[in-house]
Amino acid sequence: MNPVAAPGARAETDLAKMLATLQVDLREGEYVFVSAPGLDALPRELAQATIVEAEGPTWVLRREHADAHGLAYDFVAAWLSLRVRSALQAVGLTAAVAQALAARGIACNVLAGYHHDHLLVPAARREDAIAALLALRDESVPA
């Protein structure tokens, strides 16, 4: 069940409504992408997200876990979760968010879950990213 929606409520497909109700949650800590031989030997619960690619698995880990296991990474991210009732088939939310961040020169890696979209942005720009997303929401609310 989508924790944002009431039981039986439908997820939103209207972009204007999604943007007008957009909330942003900051997950504590810093996160990194790793892809290295032997990842499967690590405890699976360390992975906050996984992607299976032809070249091998990619794991998103808390930075301190990657450091503790000697794993190399080159991008340190803050994890933002979009709290909005978006349907998986909704069109435009990812593009609008990416455009708002790109306009401020903020890199963004998107992971889509069943309940939320998650954005991994440069850790040093976390506050700028949140401000950009909240501005996008505020610009979308009808006057």
* pLDDT tens digit sequence for 39-79: 888 999 999 999 999 998 999 999 999 999 999 999 999 99
> What strands lie across the sheet with 23-34, from one edge to the other?
47-53, 56-62, 23-34, 76-83, 117-122, 109-112
Q: Is the pLDDT reported for residue 119 higher than 50? A: yes
- Token couple for 35: 């892809």
Residue 87's pLDDT is 85
Percent of the chain with pLDDT over 90: 73
Residue 143's pLDDT is 58
* pLDDT tens digit sequence for 75-106: 999 999 999 888 888 999 999 999 999 999 99
CB atoms within 10 A of CB 28: 7
Contact between residue 26 and residue 118 where contact means Cβ atoms under 8 Å apart? no
* pLDDT tens digit sequence for 10-29: 788 989 999 999 999 999 99
Domains, the chain, ordered by start:
15-140 (3.30.2130.10)
Residue 2's pLDDT is 45
**Rounded to 10 degrees, what is the CA torsion of 69, 77, 34, 27?**
70
Radius of gyration of the chain from its Cα atoms, rounded to whole angstroms: 16
Residue 11's pLDDT is 86
Average pLDDT over residues 121-143: 92
- Token couple for 111: 């992971």
